[in-house]
Chains A and B, each alone.
Chain A
Amino acid sequence: MVADASDLSLVRRVQRGERGAYDLLVLKYQHKVVKLVMRYLRNPADAEDVAQEAFVKAYRALPQFRGDSAFYTWLYRIAINTAKNALAARERNPVSYEFDLSGNDESSDMVSRLKDPETPEGLALTEEIRDTVNHAISELPEDLRTAIVLRELEGMSYEEIAASMDCPVGTVRSRIFRAREAIDRRLREVFDGGLGRTEELV
């Protein structure tokens, strides 16, 4: 795991009372945390609610975060505990929980559908994003593709990638940036092209 200087920098800003810096941490880790929570709560909408609670708890506990471990390791533990507590609450009170979930309230149903990636809309969007990203990666030059895969899938640091690809760290940084730019361009083309939904992804 990379010792994340940018996370620590953002954390320090939050600890100084600049809440806006926390938004960047949420944007960065939201997908990971939701996936993690989904190991405990199968329903994606519930997983999002619990992940949201975990982020709120982490924010409130942030003044006590000393930076002994990486921010994500710390957040990971909070998310796991929050998910376990939610699961225990669900087992203790299955009737009310089921009632809340299957309530006939139209508005709550709508929110749930929007949040739920397993609805047809959610599934279609997920597929669209994955296809676009994978297609863009397949079109990348070999050196860019290798760099972004080693970074995103293997979680390697720039230094490790540089050693692996036998090139300077600066070149790795440049390759990863260019790979991201190419993928991002494809994403924007697809979403802004006919659907105009790029802003919804933020």
Chain B
Amino acid sequence: MIQDEVESQLSAMFDGELPVTECELLSRRIDRDEILRARWSRYALIGAAMRSEPVATARSGFARRVSIALRGGETSVRAGRGRRMIFNAAMSASLVAAVAGISISMLRYAANGSGAAGAAHSQLADNDAAPVGHVIPAAVVGAAPAEPVTADAATATATATAAVRHGGASEPVSYVTPASAGNVNTALRTELADFIVAHSEYSTPLMRRNLLSALVTNEDGADSPVPGAAAGAVHATIAASASSR
């Protein structure tokens, strides 16, 4: 008896004559009930046969193919989204690793090659766990303003740092600023690292702008007696932007 009522409702629903609330409940029931679903399909077939519509469609599994096509589309969209996220994460991770690796090797190489090699090296070894971006302490950059560092300020800071380092004394004021004087390879490596960071879509706009400014400044002063100055400026900029964020 109940089944009869359900089937009567199904027929009315097929004709669009069942109240919306009942449609909602019945359509959920059809989702779970293969017999009702088959009946729904045959009601469509009966109407199609009466109207001389192409009834062989039912046998070719048309509805099943549409369902598979829809499922495939959803899967490919989801897979595409997942692949993009994985790619972006991998790109970010590899970029960070590359920049960190280049920076560390550059710092170590510079420390070994400078006049104050031993002292700087030991200082670096002591501070191994410290972030690379914080190589210039506030005391050394004393003249630099507290507000966010602009390109000009970074250049000024670098000059100041160079002046402190080459002030004439054999003992440098700061051991943590890498001494790269006279080493062309180090300068090139620094530029390469800066170039990667400056052109990376994952860098912040501020960092990109500052690094590009530093690179331009470095090109302008290519015959500077202090090749490491621009590199120092770059590090100062990185440190400043990292601390300002």
Neighbour of B31 across the interface among A20, A51, A149, A158, CB < 8 A: A20
CA distance A52 to B61 in the complex (A): 11
A168-192, CB under 8 A of B: which get 1 and which 0? 0000011011001101100110000
Question: Are B67 and A201 touching (Cβ within 8 A)?
Answer: no
Neighbour of B63 across the interface among A3, A23, A47, A177, CB < 8 A: A23
Q: What chain A residues lie within 8 Å of B48 (beta carbons)?
A: 31-32
Quote the shortest CB–CB distance from B32 to chain A (angstroms). 9
Q: Residue B78 at the A interface, CB < 8 A?
A: no
Question: Are B66 and A56 touching (Cβ within 8 A)?
Answer: yes
Quote the shortest CB–CB distance from B39 to chain A (angstroms). 7
Interface residues of B in 35-86 (CB under 8 A from A): 37-63, 65-67, 69-71, 73-74
Given contacts A31-B54, A181-B7, A200-B59, contact A24 B66 (CB under 8 A): no
Question: Are B44 and A31 touching (Cβ within 8 A)?
Answer: yes
Neighbour of A5 across the interface among B16, B61, B71, CB < 8 A: B16
Interface residues of A in 16-33 (CB under 8 A from B): 18-24, 26-32
Quote the shortest CB–CB distance from B195 to chain A (angstroms). 43
**Category for how many chain A residues contact B:** 35 or more
Question: Are A184 and B43 touching (Cβ within 8 A)?
Answer: yes
Question: Are B23 and A56 touching (Cβ within 8 A)?
Answer: no
Question: Are B49 and A133 touching (Cβ within 8 A)?
Answer: yes
Q: Count of A-B contacts with CB under 8 A?
A: 187
Question: Are B27 and A9 touching (Cβ within 8 A)?
Answer: yes
Question: Are A24 and B30 touching (Cβ within 8 A)?
Answer: yes
CA distance A18 to B31 in the complex (A): 10
Neighbour of B62 across the interface among A18, A51, A59, A174, CB < 8 A: A51
Most buried by A among B55, B58, B74: B55
Q: What chain A residues lie within 8 Å of B58 (beta carbons)?
A: 30-31, 200-202
Question: Are A129 and B55 touching (Cβ within 8 A)?
Answer: yes
CA distance A47 to B27 in the complex (A): 29
Given contacts A5-B23, A9-B24, A126-B56, contact A34 B47 (CB under 8 A): no
- The B interface, classified by DSSP as helix, strand, loop or mixed, is helix
Q: Residue A100 at the B interface, CB < 8 A?
A: no
Given contacts A5-B18, A5-B19, A20-B31, contact A28 B44 (CB under 8 A): yes
Given contacts A5-B16, A151-B15, A173-B17, contact A48 B8 (CB under 8 A): no
Question: Are A176 and B44 touching (Cβ within 8 A)?
Answer: no
Question: Are B42 and A19 touching (Cβ within 8 A)?
Answer: no
Question: Are B70 and A198 touching (Cβ within 8 A)?
Answer: no
Q: What chain A residues lie within 8 Å of B30 (beta carbons)?
A: 24
Question: Are B46 and A24 touching (Cβ within 8 A)?
Answer: no
Pick the interface stretch among A73-81, A87-95, A101-109, A114-122: A114-122
Neighbour of B11 across the interface among A10, A125, A176, A198, CB < 8 A: A176
A3: nearest chain-B partner, CB-CB: B16
B1-25, CB under 8 A of A: which get 1 and which 0? 0000001100111111111100110
CA distance A52 to B70 in the complex (A): 10
Given contacts A6-B23, A126-B54, contact A201 B16 (CB under 8 A): no
A102-145, CB under 8 A of B: which get 1 and which 0? 00000000000011010000100110011011100100000000
B129-173, CB under 8 A of A: which get 1 and which 0? 000000000000000000000000000000000000000000000
Neighbour of B70 across the interface among A22, A115, A122, A157, CB < 8 A: A22
B43: nearest chain-A partner, CB-CB: A180
| Subset of 18 A-B contacts with CB under 8 Å | A4-B16, A9-B24, A9-B27, A10-B27, A29-B44, A35-B53, A44-B54, A59-B70, A126-B54, A129-B55, A130-B49, A132-B49, A152-B47, A152-B51, A157-B17, A173-B12, A184-B42, A202-B63
